[in-house]
Amino acid sequence: MNKKINIGNRTVGSENPAFIIAEISANHLQSYDKAVKLIKEVKKSGADAVKLQTYTPDTITIDCDNEYFQIKQGTIWDGTTLHKLYEKAYTPWQWQPKLKKIAEEEGLICFSSPFDKTAVDFLEDMKVPAYKIASFEITDIPFIEYVASKAKPVIISTGIARLGDIEEAIAACKRVGNEDIILLKCTSAYPSPLEDINLNTIPNMAETFDTIVGISDHTLGNTVSLGAVALGAKVVEKHFTLKRSEGGPDAAFSMEPQEFKAMIQGIRDMEKALGKVTYELTEKQIRSKEHSRSLFVVKDIKEGELFTEENVKSIRPGFGLPTKYISEIVGKRAKYDIKKGTPMEWKMLYL
C-alpha cells in the first residue's frame, strides 16, 4: 500500500517508518509538573508524538451513581462511577496549550482525543495537526462527522468495533470530504490479553478499508507492537508513564520510559529487517556463496582417465562447476593431469 498522510512534519504510511505515539492520558496524576516531565521523557524515548485527551467529567458523562453509571465490567476501574473515574483522569484544559507548546519545543508532534464538540472547538483553537477518535467513540457518528469536518487527519481506534461500525465511521469521514483516515487495531481490555489481540487482522484491515493501519496497544510488554509493525502497522500508540508504581487509572497498562525506548528501538530494528521484497544478493551474501557446494576433483586424475563419482564430488567451497552438472561430467575423460583439490571446469573434459 502506497497511501500516506502528513501529520505535522511527519509523513505517515507508505515506506516511511512507523509513527510512534506516546499516550500520556491520566498518567500525570493531576500534576502539571509531572505532565511536563512526561513530555520530556517521551522525547528522550524517541517517540514521534505525544497525545493528550480533551474532556472534563461533565463533557463525557454526568455525575450520577445509579446502576447505569457504575463501572462493573470486570475492569481495573470497577467499584467506582464514570464521573468519579474521569475526575481523576482528565487533563485540565488550561494546561493543554502550554503542554502542546512544550512538546513542540521538544520536537514532538502534539495532538489529542476530543470527546465532544466543545473539545474539538478548543483543539481547533490550539491548531492541533490531527485528531484521535477513541475506541468508545467510534459509534458516535455525528461526532465523527464533526471531527472529520475540520479537515485534519483522523486516527480511529477500533477496540469495540465490529466490521459495520468501522464502515460507518469511515463513511462519516468521507461524507464531509475527509479521506485522511488511519485505523488502529485495538482491543478494549486494560491490559489486553494476548489471545484477544488477533494481529492478523491488520493486513486484512488495510486491504478491506484501503487505509493506513496501525495498532493501539494495551498489552504488557512490546511483543504486540513489534508484531504489528511486522504485519504492516504504520502507527503504534502505547500508554506512557513515569513509573507504574505511582499508580493512576492507566498505570497498569502503561510503559515506563526505558521500556518505551526499548520498544521503539525494537521497532526500528524490525523495520530494518523487514526491508523490501527482493531475491538479489547483498555483497556479503555473494561472498558467503563461496562457502556453498560445488564440484571438485577429490583424487589425482591422469590425462585420459575417466571422471567418476569417486574422483569428482560435491563439496564445499563453491569455486567449481555447479553440482547439477555431475551427470554430464561422469564418464568423460580428462584432457590433462589434474591435482586433487582442483575446482572442476569444462575445459578439463573431452566433450
The domain that holds 109 is classified in CATH as: 3.20.20.70
**Does the pLDDT value for residue 105 go beyond 70?**
yes
For residue 16, what pLDDT is reported? 96
Task: Answer with the one of 226, 246, 274 that is the final residue of a domain.
Answer: 274
Range of the domain at 40: 4-55+90-274
Report yes or no on 69 lying in a domain.
no
For residue 79, what pLDDT is reported? 82
Sign (positive/negative) of CA torsion 335, 337, 340, 343? negative
Span 240-291, pLDDT tens digits? 999 999 988 888 999 999 999 999 999 999 999 999 999 999 999 999 999 9
Report yes or no on 142 lying in a domain.
yes
Per-residue pLDDT, averaged over 32-60, amounts to 97
Per-residue pLDDT, averaged over 77-82, amounts to 85
Distance CA 325, CA 314 (A): 10
Under 8 Å CB-to-CB from 13, ≥6 apart: which residues?
A: 1, 2, 3, 4, 5, 182, 212, 234
Angle at 167 between CA 162 and CA 169, to 5 degrees: 95
Distance CA 271, CA 265 (A): 10
Span 304-320, pLDDT tens digits? 999 999 999 999 999 99
What total of structural domains would you count in the chain? 2
Which position has the grid cell 551427470? 327
- Whether pTM > 0.75 for this model: the answer is yes
Per-residue pLDDT, averaged over 195-213, amounts to 97
Distance CA 344, CA 100 (A): 70
| Exposure string for 235-247, b = 16+ CB within 10 A, e = fewer | bbbbbbbbebeee
**Does the pLDDT value for residue 88 go beyond 90?**
no
Per-residue pLDDT, averaged over 76-90, amounts to 87
Which position has the grid cell 488502529? 184
Task: Answer with the one of 245, 274, 303 that is the final residue of a domain.
Answer: 274
